Each structure stands twice: as C-alpha cells, then as structure tokens.
C-alpha cells in the first residue's frame, strides 16, 4: 500500500531532503509540498494525503493552526509534527490540535520515514526519549490542563479502564497484554474500542485522556 505524503516546511532544503530520501522507497509518495500552514491545508483538501509532515514554525498560519484545521476536516489525513527539543510550548498546542505523532528534526532520516509509516497505519508516535517527558510536561502545563480536572470516566468497562490506565503509562499493546494476562489481539481490541468510545483520534489522545481523567498522575 502506498502512503501519500504532503511535506509542509518553510525550509525548501528540509522538504528536498525528505523528498529525495522518500524517492528511494516505492511505498512512500510525495503528493505535494507546502511552505506555509495555509498551503498545507489547501493541499490536504486538494490531494487527501495519508500523512502531512508538518513543521510548527511557518510564516502566516503556523503548523499548529494548520494541524487543527486538517484534523477537524472530513479527510482522514494524519499529521506528523517536526519539532525540536526547545519547542515544547508549541508541541502542547499541536497535541491539542490533533497531531498523531512527533519526531525531532535531528533524528536519522530513516527514523523519520519509519514514523511516517507508523502514523499512516493509524498508530501514534512520539520520538524515542521524548514520549513520557513530553506527555507529562503537557499535562502539567497550566494552559494544557482542562478547567475541570479530573473529568469523570463514563461509558467504559472496568477492563477498558485498566487498559486506558496502562496506555496512559506509556505501555505498548504487548506490554498491556503481559500486565493483564490477555492476548495482544485482545489488548489491541480494547484500545480500538477506547478510541471509539472516547472519540480519540489516536493513542496520543488516549494518553492525554488518561491523565485528564485522573487515571494516571504525574510522578516528578
């Protein structure tokens, strides 16, 4: 299956590097390039890509607002945000806007391509070494926490509550299966039902929801 990608970055060199690298992988196809958030939103409307690789800082409409508009639209396009370690404040906004993954710009290009595939497959991904710190900092950020925190859990079973708690702790499906003595397929099924019941776009949003519901607390 071919993954159709839009590259959104105001630096042509970054877009060019990714495009050249992706040309060697037949399962990845660049269907458009954008230098601004507004261009990215329009390209999604025109081409319906599977993934947008989105820079946060762009002139005019930034990557956060572009992500918000893309994920709020009818298309199933997912957004993979390019970030740097000194941009956490911007990443908080991108999480809220519906981004499905985050990769750091100084990661190996092959790792970025792997991230594109993961996000296109419907999973969520945050760069290794960033996941727990980023989520914890996000929840602990005053502007990120909802006014009524924690909010109640409604409409999920006790087993689903256990699964959601483990997702919030950063467990993979395999780890969840081991912790709860169930099969990986069953763990995956529980996660899928949670996505539907909680209207969560992906695993990143389930992690945030687990914190917001008070199922997982910060340990600093």
**How far is 119 from 141, CA to CA, in rounded Å?**
25
pLDDT in tens, 169-183: 778 788 899 999 999
pLDDT in tens, 78-128: 999 887 655 556 666 777 788 887 777 777 778 888 888 888 877 665 554
**CA-based nearest residue to 41, from 22, 63, 13, 20:** 63
**CA-based nearest residue to 99, from 202, 217, 22, 29:** 202
* Per-residue pLDDT, 49: 95
**How far is 28 from 18, CA to CA, in rounded Å?**
11
- Please give the residue that has the higher pLDDT: either 5 or 218: 5
- Please give the residue that has the higher pLDDT: either 186 or 208: 186
pLDDT classification of 210: cutoffs 50, 70, 90: confident
* Per-residue pLDDT, 147: 41
Q: Averaged over 148-172, what is the pLDDT? A: 79
List, in sequence order, every residue forming a beta bridge with 30; answer none if it has no partner.
Answer: 5
Q: Averaged over 137-148, what is the pLDDT? A: 50
* Per-residue pLDDT, 92: 67
pLDDT at 6 over 90: yes
Q: Which whole-number Å values give the CA distances from 148 to 144, 145, 152, 167, 206, in the listed order? A: 12, 8, 10, 22, 18
pLDDT at 148 over 50: no
| Contact between 22 and 113 (Cβ < 8 Å) | yes
Q: Which whole-number Å values give the CA distances from 5 to 91, 104, 203, in the listed order? A: 21, 18, 21
pTM of the predicted protein model: 0.70
* Per-residue pLDDT, 3: 94
Across 12-26, 86-100, 169-183, 192-206, least confident range: 86-100
- Please give the residue that has the higher pLDDT: either 90 or 31: 31
pLDDT at 19 over 80: yes
């Amino acid at each position: 299956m071919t993954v159709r990608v839009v590259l959104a970055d105001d630096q042509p060199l970054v877009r060019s590097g990714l495009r050249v690298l992706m040309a060697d992988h037949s399962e990845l196809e660049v269907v458009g390039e954008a230098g601004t958030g507004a261009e990215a939103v329009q390209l999604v409307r025109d081409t319906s890509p599977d993934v947008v690789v989105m820079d946060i800082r762009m002139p005019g409409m930034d990557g956060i607002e572009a992500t918000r508009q893309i994920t709020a639209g009818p298309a199933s396009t997912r957004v993979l945000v390019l970030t740097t370690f000194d941009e956490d404040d911007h990443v908080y906004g991108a999480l809220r806007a519906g981004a499905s993954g985050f990769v750091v710009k100084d990661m190996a290009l092959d790792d970025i391509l792997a991230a594109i595939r993961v996000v296109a497959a419907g999973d969520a991904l945050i760069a290794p070494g960033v996941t727990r710190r980023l989520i914890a900092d996000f929840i602990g950020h005053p502007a990120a926490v909802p006014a009524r925190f924690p909010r109640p859990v409604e409409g999920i079973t006790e087993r689903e509550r256990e699964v959601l708690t483990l997702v919030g702790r950063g467990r993979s499906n395999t780890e969840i299966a081991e912790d709860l003595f169930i099969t990986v397929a069953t763990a995956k099924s529980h996660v899928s039902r949670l996505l539907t019941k909680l209207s969560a776009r992906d695993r990143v949003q389930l992690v945030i929801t687990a914190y917001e519901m008070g199922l997982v607390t910060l340990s600093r």
